[in-house]
Structures are given as structure tokens and as C-alpha cells.
Amino acid sequence: MSRAHVALGGNLGNPAERLNRVFAELDRLPHSHLVQASSLYRSAPVGHADQPDFVNAVALLETSLSPYALMHELLELESRHGRVRSLVNGPRTLDLDLLLYDHREMQADHLTLPHPRMHLRRFVLAPLLEVDPDCVIPGRGRADLLLAGLDDQAEVHYLRPPALDTGFLALCNLGRGMVPRERGAWPLPMPAAS
């Protein structure tokens, strides 16, 4: 099985609710399962400022799909959630980007690995490090050092999960099967220590 890191984002509808549903849908992709889901983060839009803030996250998957097959599944998932590609960096219901696939480096017509701008985006690196603290981006270096070098970029804000019992969150994070799949079993983010 290969490891794939997928960025999730959106700013239309109820993006936080949508991203939590998408975590469960990622866990149901063929020949794949969700290993870990990051917390949700709010960030200002990049490019067109006249739109709502984005909610972002990162999912770590294990998959036997090829990078192209996985990207196809991600595009289908975007489409099922009403994604319309009319304006570059414009508002969207759901944006899914394949950030990393194992340690592969590749450049093709419709897929570049690692994602070509991920090292420049705090809203990608912060949740990425949450699911993979030792992440190294091929050709760029350690993600933690890249994030530390982005002091001048717009901030991202951690969004606390809904008021759920900490014990329940801990049980969910222990592994798959704690909650029936039909109800959306996926790792939930642990609340930050107070």
C-alpha cells in the first residue's frame, strides 16, 4: 500500500460540515482507507479576496490505487459535491489536491507530484504536519522548516471540533472499527490541550 496526502478545502455552503463528511467518503474510496484526518483550519482566500474564508484540512490515506486513479477518484468526489471550475482560485464547494504520493516526483499534463505550490501555503503545511509530523516534501525539504519560513504569509486559524467528549474522540483515534462505517467512522481531531 502507498501513502497519499490529500488536501481538502472549500468555502461555499457549510465547508466545515462538508469536509468532515468528505473524510468519511475518502475512507470509502476503492482500495483505500483513511489513516488520519487533520483538524480543520480557516484561512483567507488566495487570489480573489472578494470571497468567504476557506476551511482547510489534510487527510493521510493508504491506497493501492495509482496516483492517476486516485486523482480520478478525487475529481469525481469534487464533482459529486458540486464543484464547478469557472474561476481560478475562485469560490468552491470542495477542492481536493493530491499533495504527496509516497516519495514520488513526477510531472504530467494533469498531475504533478509533489503538488507544485504546497510548500508555499501555510493552510496546507499546518494540517499536513498534524497528520505527518516528520513529513519531507521531495525536492523541497522538511515540511516543518518550510512552514517556519512562511512567517510573512497570511495566518491560518485552528477551528476547534464541535463540543464532543474528549474520551469519545480518543476512542475514535485509536483506529478503524470504533464507529460503524455507515455512520462515518473516521479519525476525529483531538482538541488542543488547554
Contacts of 9 (CB under 8 A, 6+ apart): 15, 19, 54, 55, 56, 57, 92, 94, 95, 97, 123
Q: Dig out the grid coordinates for 53 from the structure.
A: 474564508
What would the pLDDT profile of 109-155 be if each residue is shown by its tens digit?
Answer: 899 999 999 999 999 999 999 999 999 999 999 999 999 998 756 67
CA angle, 118 as apex, 169 and 13 as ends, to 5°?
Answer: 55
Predicted pLDDT at 122: 93
Predicted pLDDT at 84: 80
Predicted pLDDT at 82: 87
Give the residue ranges of DSSP H helices in the chain. Answer: 15-27, 67-80, 122-131, 143-148, 166-173
Number of domains forming the structure of the chain: 1
In a domain, residue 68? The reply is yes
Question: Can you state the percent helix, strand and coil of the chain, rounding each to 5?
Answer: 30, 25, 45
CB 17 within 8 A of CB 8: no
Predicted pLDDT at 158: 87
In a domain, residue 124? The reply is yes
pLDDT at 167 over 70: no
CB 37 within 8 A of CB 131: yes
In a domain, residue 139? The reply is yes
How many C-beta neighbours within 10 Å does residue 187 have? 22
In a domain, residue 178? The reply is no
Q: So which residues are the catalytic ones?
A: 83, 92, 95, 97
In a domain, residue 169? The reply is no
Average pLDDT over residues 89-113: 93
Please report the sign of the dihedral spanned by the C-alpha atoms of residue 172, residue 174, residue 175, residue 180.
Answer: negative
Across the chain, which distance is largest between two alpha carbons, in Å? 46
In a domain, residue 127? The reply is yes
Range of the domain at 6: 2-161
In a domain, residue 52? The reply is yes
pLDDT at 29 over 50: yes
pLDDT at 89 over 60: yes
In a domain, residue 168? The reply is no
CATH number of the domain enclosing 129: 3.30.70.560
